Structure 1
Amino acid sequence: MKSISIIVLTTFLNFSFAYSQNHYGKNGMVASASTYASQAGLEILKDGGNAVDASIATAFTLAVTWPFAGNIGGGGFMIIHTGEGEVTTYDFREKAPLASTKDMFLDENGELKSGSNHNTALAIGVPGTVAGLYDAHQNYGKIEWEKLLDRAIQLAEFGFPLPQSLAKDFFYFAEHPDEFPEMQSFIKRDGKLVGFGEYWKQPALAKTLKKIQKEGKKAFYEGEIAQELVNYLQTQNGIITMEDLAQYESIERKPIHSTFKDYDLYGMPLPSSGGVAVTQMMNMWDHLDEIPKMGSVQYYHTLAEIMRKAFKDRAQYLGDMDYAEIPELDKLLSKAYAKKLLNDIDFEDAGKSDSTDVQLFSEGHETTHLSVMDGSGMAVSMTTTLEQGYGVKMQSPKLGFLFNNEMGDFNAVPGKTTNSGQIGTPANTIEPGKRMLSSMSPFIVTKNNYPFLVIGSPGGRTIINTVFQTVLATTVYDYPMAQAIEAPKIHHQWLPDHIVYEEYKMAPETLKSLEEMGHELQMRSFLGRLMGIKYNAETGFMEGASDSGSPDGGVASY
């Protein structure tokens, strides 16, 4: 790794961005949940790298500066639009360990052991992030792999001022050491809690990243890192083995491709449910006889009823298609099926979700998304996750990174469905080596075979609906990027049978009218934290924005 002076590093760390504004660039742009990470990606673009290179540098930097969701101990999905106009995807979703069983989280009575599928080492899936980033680089990257980790290593080794968002979480973990024993060494240095504004150095993580920088994915899945990972998890009663790590592979898959008016939409295939669900909803919207005014009562009612239909299908049919046959998939994606679903919608009154039908499993909200576009027309939309914030909240002090708790995304109790949100349908039950269903929904929308919109969000199941509404805002209502991201959004997921809306963003009169139509309402502080780039073909400028709900997010461009 090249040496770096403290003066240069401090200059980098003090780089600032404005939030909730449209940022413009002509040669390259990066939007992510960390200003440090966005700048790291931009540096790669300026040094001759392409969008794939920049996305990898951004992702590794997020693992250092945004441990809430950025990671090398989790997984995710990536969509790539090449400069030649081809579109491909990488699935680096976590996998169930080989020792997994369908009833591994159940007690002797067949009931779910409380917290076992989220808060124990059994909840950790085999990580996929390093494999996915490395494999994408080998096939689509432009500059040397080693350079892509330089900035992440520097920030881990020299440290950066701890932002308030992380400092609040660190303080909470420190106040509850019995509940989070494995987090104490992560948040403290020399026994002292790292506080707001203090430089947070991560020497163990820097050492781990240096090995990955030198040896690529082999270092993570076969070498000393892998052995320490397994040794640590065994002390926590985990079941991941060296064989699990050695067998892990990311998968390059064909995207879910659909059309909407003059646009081509590209989403992730299964086990990401977002590609299917957003496609279904856009297909239904395409069949509307009359387009409702943005923000009107009819607009939100139509959204809710379309979401209701898509989420019912999601719960009933979707899972890892490498393990479970999805016989209805072609039908679910067809325009004819969308028209049939739309014909069943009552545009005057709220529909009803039958409580005897399938339910949705619990899914964490804390993913992170990054969008990148370079001057050649190459674009990357990537969403990664640890599942819940800080994952399972365990880490080996020798490795310095947090582990996911993605096993909680499987249906933990096969065959059992409850009104509280538990689902037991076969497509997403646990099997060794299987990838768990996800709501991550990175999307790239093209127009005339050139990127028009690069978008994605964290937010668990709400990801699907926030991405859907942002695609609508840009393609149908011609909103600028920041305004599309900040526009009021709702969420309906079939069951529970209610609309979730964002606090302070909807007029009381609108809410009252929705209730009069028969909708039950529930308030939430925010839905999603979108990161997006929109391209204006007339001006040749990229227009990017990071969600104001992302406390440390930012856009870097030139």
Structure 2
Amino acid sequence: MVVSAHPLASAVGAEILRRGGNAVDAAVAVQFALAVVYPDAGNIGGGGFLILRLKDGTTHALDYREKAPAAAHRDMYLNGQGEVIEDLSYKGHLAAGVPGTVDGMVQVHEKYGRLPWSELVQPAVVLAATGFPLTKKEAKKLNDQRQDFVQYNTQSPEFFFQDHWREGDTLRLTDLARTLERIRDQGRAGFYEGRTADLLSAEMKRGRGIITKADLAAYRSVWRTPVTGQVGPLRVISMPPPSSGGIALIQLLTISEKYPLNAWGWNTVPSSHLMIEAERRVYADRAEHFGDADFYEVPVKGLLDTAYIRSRMRGYSPTKATSSQKVSSGTPPLPEGPHTTHYSIVDAQGNAISVTTTLNSSFGNKVVVGGAGFLLNNEMDDFSIKPGFPNSYGLVGGEANAIAPAKRMLSSMSPTILEKNGQLFMVVGAMGGSTIITTVYQIIQNVTKHGHTMQGAISAGRFHHQWKPNWVLSEWGALGFGTGLGLWLKGHKIAPAIHGIGRAAGILVLPDGRLEGGADPRGDDAAAGF
């Protein structure tokens, strides 16, 4: 089974599985297909994380997160008075980090793939060269972003060939097709060297960006040890720093395990209040302690210490909300003697892969590399561009996530695999910036505490709290009038999540071994299985 953000990408992955490919082969094919049919987040100009669980139970984590260019420095988005220059870290050429996606796909395929590389990239080449019909949502996104495309591009990308896109229109991306052909035929060198590198370097010079050919040549993905935690009968396997997602998710699930959420019920006043208060404390830790573990000593063991996690709920009151001004990060015990889309895949042998990949915001920095046809990320905004200054998602950070050359920026991406009693149980992850962690947390709770199906857990309404700003974001109808009123009476401030919270993709292994996919109705997401 494959669950992704676009039906064409899911179909590509399922076809690879039918042809004898494994979960890794399907993941590579889906990644490149999403770069074509889901250009606002699917990418080759961004990065991501993946968690892999092989059929023998061994687990692996690959970090192909973008890196700051060599010319980056901690004050690069500040003016002479030390104030943040609006949008400089968010839009345009200077917002881009060095892309990691292609190297990540090459590395995971070389180590665990089965089918030839060229066969996995070819479906994306065909989609880009021959074109594909736009969904209603994707047409609207292209139209909505047109002004930014005009403002920030040095050459007119193929998105401009039509003034107003409509559902069913065919989008052909011939420049992107040629870039994908180079990647298909040359592997890593087809992106980080030669013609593609020349085009990207020229784009940087035209737009006064700072990514160089040397930055591209030096980029390498990193294999890391997954973070794991035992929560009741579940073993949680997720991403370590520079993702904050794995540790934060384990913290949230560990806190919740001590309370009777199943008896309280789904999104009732007591269960929602408890989850909001847990999220408030976990995100305070995130702001203080998380960054790239290659540059900053993230206290991973301390943050995962069960006693420490539960101590964070001291001061919790079941009757009233805690002010975020009174909640700070904790002090973990010292260690002994680190716009997005997600896809989940399980193959016939039982290998499972959970992949979250991103350009950061929708269509990244809005810049299409001239002649190469792919969008660049705006991941530099995920650094703490100034201590205490919120990024585009309202998240604040400090020294641990300050900008430095070749450093990876902090992320909320949370690709996750769950085992139950030693067996594969769930593959899940989400898009949604700072809401990714709470989205995955609530989906897991929906299944394990409230008995939802995989689809039901993903479709259910969601809410989110991230310490600062001090309010609860809630999807329409997620809390209901009674719960909303009850939370308000406890002192919570509730704001509507106008565009929804997260988009998730999950696969649940049922007791009889069948797979149930959950595709998010908030988008064009689709599950494809056989």
Q: Same fold (TM over 0.5)?
A: yes
Give the percent of matched residue pairs that are identical in Structure 1 and Structure 2: 38
Question: What CA distance in whole angstroms lies between the structure 2 residues aligned with 1:469 and 1:372?
Answer: 20
Question: What CA distance in whole angstroms lies between the structure 2 residues aligned with 1:507 and 1:195?
Answer: 35
Confirm whether residue 491 of structure 1 aligns to residue 451 of structure 2. no
Question: What CA distance in whole angstroms lies between the structure 2 residues aligned with 1:98 and 1:176?
Answer: 27
Aligned to 1:252: 223
Cα 1:463/1:421, change in 2 over 3 Å: closer
Q: Bigger shift: 148-157 or 168-177?
A: 168-177
1:282-361 to structure 2, matched below 5 A, reads: 282-288=253-259, 291=262, 292-326=264-298, 328-354=299-325
Does the aligned pair in 1 maintain the 2:95–2:380 contact within 8 Å? yes
Question: What CA distance in whole angstroms lies between the structure 2 residues aligned with 1:73 and 1:107?
Answer: 28
Does the aligned pair in 1 maintain the 2:10–2:30 contact within 8 Å? yes
Does the aligned pair in 1 maintain the 2:261–2:449 contact within 8 Å? no
| 1:163-208 superposed Cα distances (whole Å, 9 cap, x missing partner) | 222222333344677535458423133x665543222111111111
Which secondary structure state, in structure 2, belongs to the residue aligned with residue 342 of structure 1? coil
Aligned to 1:205: 176
Q: Bigger shift: 525-534 or 288-297?
A: 288-297
For the aligned residues, what is the CA RMSD? 1.9
How far residue 448 of structure 1 moved from its aligned partner, in angstroms, is: 3.3
Does the aligned pair in 2 maintain the 1:186–1:395 contact within 8 Å? no
Aligned to 2:51: 79
Confirm whether residue 156 of structure 1 aligns to residue 125 of structure 2. no
Confirm whether residue 408 of structure 1 aligns to residue 374 of structure 2. no
Aligned to 2:87: 115
Does the aligned pair in 2 maintain the 1:320–1:436 contact within 8 Å? yes
1:453-532 to structure 2, matched below 5 A, reads: 453-525=426-498, 526-532=500-506
Give the residue type in structure 1 aligned to 2:293: M
Aligned to 1:271: 242
Give the residue type in structure 2 aligned to 1:383: T
Question: What CA distance in whole angstroms lies between the structure 2 residues aligned with 1:296 and 1:93?
Answer: 37
Cα 1:344/1:177, change in 2 over 3 Å: closer
1:66-215 to structure 2, matched below 5 A, reads: 66-174=38-146, 178-181=150-153, 184-189=156-161, 194-215=165-186
Question: What CA distance in whole angstroms lies between the structure 2 residues aligned with 1:67 and 1:60?
Answer: 10
Question: What CA distance in whole angstroms lies between the structure 1 residues aligned with 2:464 and 2:40?
Answer: 23
Question: What CA distance in whole angstroms lies between the structure 1 residues aligned with 2:483 and 2:102?
Answer: 46
Cα 1:288/1:524, change in 2 over 3 Å: same
Aligned to 2:509: 535
Question: What CA distance in whole angstroms lies between the structure 1 residues aligned with 2:157 and 2:166?
Answer: 14
Question: What CA distance in whole angstroms lies between the structure 2 residues aligned with 1:384 and 1:497?
Answer: 28
Aligned to 2:352: 379
Cα 1:372/1:466, change in 2 over 3 Å: same
Confirm whether residue 228 of structure 1 aligns to residue 199 of structure 2. yes
Q: Which runs of 5+ in 2 are unaligned?
A: 330-338
Question: What CA distance in whole angstroms lies between the structure 2 residues aligned with 1:333 and 1:47?
Answer: 41
Does the aligned pair in 2 maintain the 1:415–1:426 contact within 8 Å? no
Does the aligned pair in 1 maintain the 2:200–2:370 contact within 8 Å? no
Does the aligned pair in 1 maintain the 2:369–2:376 contact within 8 Å? no
Aligned to 1:15: none
Cα 1:334/1:152, change in 2 over 3 Å: same
Give the residue type in structure 2 aligned to 1:534: L
Question: What CA distance in whole angstroms lies between the structure 2 residues aligned with 1:300 and 1:355?
Answer: 20
| 1:137-178 superposed Cα distances (whole Å, 9 cap, x missing partner) | 111111111110121111101101122222223333446775
Which secondary structure state, in structure 1, belongs to the residue aligned with residue 273 of structure 2? helix
How far residue 449 of structure 1 moved from its aligned partner, in angstroms, is: 2.9
How far residue 540 of structure 1 moved from its aligned partner, in angstroms, is: 1.5
Cα 1:557/1:289, change in 2 over 3 Å: closer
Does the aligned pair in 2 maintain the 1:265–1:443 contact within 8 Å? yes
Does the aligned pair in 1 maintain the 2:153–2:368 contact within 8 Å? no
Cα 1:124/1:490, change in 2 over 3 Å: same
Aligned to 2:333: none
Question: What CA distance in whole angstroms lies between the structure 2 residues aligned with 1:176 and 1:338?
Answer: 43
Cα 1:57/1:312, change in 2 over 3 Å: same
Does the aligned pair in 1 maintain the 2:71–2:210 contact within 8 Å? yes
Which secondary structure state, in structure 1, belongs to the residue aligned with residue 478 of structure 2? coil
Question: What CA distance in whole angstroms lies between the structure 2 residues aligned with 1:424 and 1:285?
Answer: 25
Give the residue type in structure 1 aligned to 2:412: S
Question: What CA distance in whole angstroms lies between the structure 1 residues aligned with 2:229 and 2:195?
Answer: 44
How far residue 274 of structure 1 moved from its aligned partner, in angstroms, is: 0.4
Cα 1:264/1:177, change in 2 over 3 Å: closer
Cα 1:176/1:230, change in 2 over 3 Å: closer
Question: What CA distance in whole angstroms lies between the structure 2 residues aligned with 1:70 and 1:221?
Answer: 18
Aligned to 2:366: 393
Q: TM-score, normalised by structure 2?
A: 0.94
Which secondary structure state, in structure 2, belongs to the residue aligned with residue 370 of structure 1? strand
Confirm whether residue 426 of structure 1 aligns to residue 399 of structure 2. yes
Confirm whether residue 39 of structure 1 aligns to residue 17 of structure 2. no
Question: What CA distance in whole angstroms lies between the structure 2 residues aligned with 1:128 and 1:290?
Answer: 40
Give the residue type in structure 2 aligned to 1:529: R
Cα 1:375/1:422, change in 2 over 3 Å: closer
Question: What CA distance in whole angstroms lies between the structure 1 residues aligned with 2:164 and 2:156?
Answer: 8
Question: What CA distance in whole angstroms lies between the structure 2 residues aligned with 1:59 and 1:264?
Answer: 27
How far residue 401 of structure 1 moved from its aligned partner, in angstroms, is: 0.5
Cα 1:185/1:193, change in 2 over 3 Å: farther
Aligned residue pairs, count: 518
Question: What CA distance in whole angstroms lies between the structure 2 residues aligned with 1:438 and 1:31?
Answer: 22
Question: What CA distance in whole angstroms lies between the structure 2 residues aligned with 1:498 and 1:101?
Answer: 33
Give the residue type in structure 2 aligned to 1:223: G
Question: What CA distance in whole angstroms lies between the structure 1 residues aligned with 2:149 and 2:217?
Answer: 34
Give the residue type in structure 2 aligned to 1:215: Q
Question: What CA distance in whole angstroms lies between the structure 1 residues aligned with 2:469 and 2:389?
Answer: 16
How far residue 423 of structure 1 moved from its aligned partner, in angstroms, is: 3.4
Question: What CA distance in whole angstroms lies between the structure 1 residues aligned with 2:508 and 2:389?
Answer: 43
Structure 1 residue aligned with 2:417, among 424, 435, 444? 444
Give the residue type in structure 2 aligned to 1:508: F
Does the aligned pair in 1 maintain the 2:155–2:370 contact within 8 Å? no
How far residue 270 of structure 1 moved from its aligned partner, in angstroms, is: 0.3
Confirm whether residue 60 of structure 1 aligns to residue 46 of structure 2. no
Aligned to 1:6: none
Give the residue type in structure 2 aligned to 1:385: T
